[in-house]
Structure 1
Amino acid sequence: MPYLVEFIRNSDSTIATHCTCPTSQNGQYCHHRFNIIEGKTADIVSENLDEVETVQSWIPGSEIETAMVEVQRLDDEIAKAKELLAAVKNEATRAMMN
């Protein structure tokens, strides 16, 4: 089922976003909005793909940009932690084989 995703630029630094998916309606992480912010258009079924570029042009200098920088930083930290965890698990496995 397609969902309606809407972006409203209130000022240079504030952008309101809404999605009709149940997750968003419950105030949780909504990948539909994040996909548009990140420029991902593969799942868009409407004929307004060009509006994704418009929304993306609003992001620099906005509160969303600040939040997305922090999201990326934490995603990077998680990826590094997963790599370290995998390495330690491999070491533990080798230790168990001795």
Structure 2
Amino acid sequence: MVQSLKFSVIGENDDVFEVTISRDANNSSNLKASCTCGQARRGEFCGHRFDILEGERANLASDNVDDLDVLAAWIRGSDIESAMKELSKARSDLNVARDNLAYKRRMLVKRMLD
């Protein structure tokens, strides 16, 4: 039996997209996330899905905000949870690298002016 949560999300240009998160009741550690936007249909990264998985409420057009809490419980222990943690770490590492790059550039400029 497949369980699903559906959310309407406002995208750019005020378009509304449908995000569906589903899982098989017999294998609840495997979540699937789909969206009706073009990026998701092409198999690309879709911010609408990610926002819903992150519990973002700002662009939620549907009135099922409480389902975000249900989704948070579904995510715990799932394959998506580990992938989200890896993405979060990669973002953090990228920010550190950007800060380091900016610092190194400032140091180079300083040395060029000595």
Question: Structures share a fold, TM > 0.5?
Answer: yes
- Provide the residue aligned with 1:2 in structure 2: 16
Given candidates 53, 59, 69, the residue that maps to 1:43 is 59
Higher helix share: 1
1:94 and 2:110 aligned = yes
Q: TM-score, normalised by structure 2?
A: 0.82
- Provide the residue aligned with 1:59 in structure 2: 75
Higher strand share: 2
Q: Match of 2:73, as an amino acid?
A: S
The unaligned stretches of length 5 or more in structure 1 are: none
Q: CA RMSD in A?
A: 0.9
Q: Encode CA deviations 1:27-66: one digit per residue, 9 max, x unaligned.
A: 1111111111111011011111111111111011100011
Q: Distance in 1 between matches of 2:50 and 2:72?
A: 11
| C-alpha deviation, 1:67, in angstroms | 0.3
**Aligned structure 1 segments of 4 or more residues deviating by more than 4 angstroms:** none
The unaligned stretches of length 5 or more in structure 2 are: 1-14
Q: Distance in 1 between matches of 2:33 and 2:54?
A: 14
Q: TM-score, normalised by structure 1?
A: 0.95
| C-alpha deviation, 1:12, in angstroms | 2.0
